[in-house]
Amino acid sequence: MTDAATPARPAAVPNDLGAWWLPFTPNRAFKKNPRMLARAKGMFYYTPEGHEILDGSAGLWCCNAGHCREPIVAAIAAQAASLDFAPSFQFGHPMAFQLATRIADLAPADLDHVFFVNSGSESVDTALKIALAYHHARGEAGRTRLIGRARGYHGVGFGGISVGGISGNRKHFGPMLPGVDHLPTTYDREKQAFSRGEPDWGGHLADTLEDIVALHDSSTIAAVIVEPMAGSTGVLAPPKNYLARLRAICDKYGILLIFDEVITGFGRLGAAFAAERFGIVPDMITFAKGVTSGTVPLGGVIVREPVHAAFMKGPDHVAEFMHGYTYSAHPLACAAGLATLDLYAQEKLFARAAQLESTIADAFHALRGLPNVLDIRTIGLVAAIDLAPEAGGVGCRGLAALDHAFHQQNLLFRITGDTIAVSPPLIVSKEQIGAIADKVARAIRAVA
């Protein structure tokens, strides 16, 4: 900080990396050998030196339409020049209603109402609050328990890390929210290794929800939240019949079912939402990332009509749900969202992702047998490779592979520990999928 008596700090130079504390990043290792991105276009990033980097992860699972697409850029620029901000409490602007309608039209069944937020983490915490308030509005205020799943990722809010099931995201921040329980993970390498799409084994694991109900009693349980495909924890597809069984048990006991589709929403699995691909209608869907192709932060919760209707009671002058954010439905974000949805429709990108599913599966399952490869999983336009950990610790081999891919292969992908995750923009070509797989293979060999 500076004041009138203190001179301002000089403008940062490229090697001045001290001020920014990077999220989810080993900062000391990064600053010794930075991976810097200066601009982007289409399928590529570019370093400050001008090197072209093939984007194998759609940024952070979000740039589904590719980078710096002209219609989206133009929409954002035009909006910034006409309406920069509109208060989100007690006021509205037309694009927020237009975008909500467009998103509701994409969602299945009677998922007809959209509550806008700014990120996936906020969408999860909002959905959990809606679930609790819904039961309260119906006279069942005792339903306060929330059920997540081991190896689940639901953002970094306190609600999200409480229902989440990744220990590293939780252990330094306790205590968590009270009254939270977890289903077991659906992944078992011995029974599911090298699977394409939904594994045959594991559907029965949904029945453990019956055990949780028996332990706590259904009258105490508000909601179950799961990712249809767990992305950040290593690309874990749902076993066959698992999601259907969860839906049936939730219906049996009056428990709300929330699908966290922050990653799977907007085409990643070949449909607008994973709920459509799997034929399951949850009570709420959380979204973010792909709704604006990563250009402007935006997220939200899509809510079924009966859940929404439970709030629309009491005096008209009283807010039905005491929750929201200053930047909910920000005009620039809504402009970006509308332009992005137009691109998805015009270029049929969701269908394109479905058509490329076998291409990415063939390319990555061909890497079976490379050194230290323990498992390969593919579904939709996503692939994951588990590498054996180094003796130096979990994550060392994965980080080395990431570094080699970027600096030596001009490729960007995601890692979670020693798992490589690939999720390219939906505009990726078959040839580029082959190039990504080839570069991943070279990185794996380099860190063997």
39 pairs with which residues across the strands?
Answer: 46
Does residue 433 sit in the same domain as residue 331?
no
pLDDT tens-digit map of 38-62:
999 999 999 999 999 999 999 999 9
Instruction: Domain count for the chain, please give it.
Output: 2
Rounded to whole angstroms, how far apart are CA atoms 34 and 25? 11
Does residue 229 sit in the same domain as residue 373?
no
CATH for 361: 3.90.1150.10
Q: Which domain holds residue 217?
A: 73-346
Rounded to whole angstroms, how far apart are CA atoms 397 and 417? 8
Is 152 a residue whose pLDDT tops 70? yes
pLDDT tens-digit map of 237-270:
999 999 999 999 999 999 999 999 999 999 999 9
Residue 17 lies in a domain: no
Does residue 339 sit in the same domain as residue 355?
no
pLDDT value for 62: 98
Residue 6 lies in a domain: no
Angle at 254 between CA 183 and CA 243, to 5 degrees: 45
Grade residue 7 by pLDDT with cuts at 50, 70 and 90.
low
Before 175, cis peptide (omega within 30)?
yes
Q: 346, 363, 393 — which closes off a domain?
A: 346
Q: What DSSP element (H or E) covers 409?
A: helix 396-409
Q: What is the pTM of this model?
A: 0.96
| Neighbour-count burial for 25-63, b at 16+ CB within 10 Å, e otherwise | eeeeeeeeebeeeeebeebbbebeeeeebbbbbbbebbb
